[in-house]
Amino acid sequence: MNTNFLDRIIAARRADVENAKASHPEAEVRALAEARRTPFRGFERALRCDGVRIVAEIKRASPSKGDICPSLDPATMAKAYQAGGAAALSVLTEPSLFKGSSQDLPAARAATTIPVLRKDFIISEYQVHETVALGADALLAIVRILDDNTLSRILSVAQNYGIDVLTEVFDEADLQRATAAGATLIGINNRNLESFETDLYRAARIARGAPNNAVAISLSGVATPADVASQTKAGLSRFLIGEALAKCADPTTLLREMISAGEIGK
């Protein structure tokens, strides 16, 4: 994947949002969000609990790996993740490069009792209304694809609804912008979204600069119980894990092994 990945996908998502607005105007989607009666399950609260906490991801494909589990059933996978001890779920809804669907999220959520993150490229307030209406408990805001004003607006609109935000950063500059905007749940991506190079210990290094009241989560690259153990030794105990679980024949057992290894490594 070349370094134009972000530019291309953001352009595609902007077009998707405009098409969605043409079919469902923002006032209509906002009304649906405001009419939501499904309680939020507390994504951030689940990540603040003691112990090793894993957000397990439902993921069909990725730009760097291609197909991972294209025929997955979101409800079945969600149940397996919860049985393995996942603290929460992450559901990719981006349709082109990740082959996600907005229908995967309500299907996964209905099959479980744990919080669900909508993982997508959120670039507008419209998508916040959409995410709330969809039934998600949290959404992803990637700092490096948002200017400061848009980031602040997304966090503000989300706060008004009561939906949690996982704010993704890559480097110290991203972290500074995230904390200045008031982010308290910070995902640190070990993978460079421009080059797709992965450094498993980036999250531990960047997390040292996070405010004391923030929760840091390691994103990308964690694939084995040994990876979890080594990261907990480096000071991290929250992880979002996708590919390794999605392609595993027995994700329930792998999750249990990861959590156990992390508890031993602490």
Q: What is the pLDDT of residues 42-85, one digit of tens each?
A: 999 999 999 999 999 999 988 777 888 888 999 999 999 999 99
For 120: left if phi > 0, alpha if psi spans -120 to 50, otherwise beta; the answer is: beta
Global pTM? 0.94
pLDDT tier at 168 (50, 70, 90 boundaries)? Answer: very high
Helices (H), the chain: 5-23, 26-34, 43-48, 74-83, 104-110, 125-134, 148-161, 172-180, 202-207, 225-233, 243-246, 251-265
Q: How far apart are CA 87 and CA 56, in angstroms?
A: 8
At 96, the pLDDT band (50, 70, 90 cuts) reads: confident
Q: Given a cut of 90, is residue 19 above it in pLDDT?
A: yes
What are the chain's domains? 5-265 (3.20.20.70)
* Whether the Cβ atoms of residue 75 and residue 107 lie closer than 8 Å to each other: yes
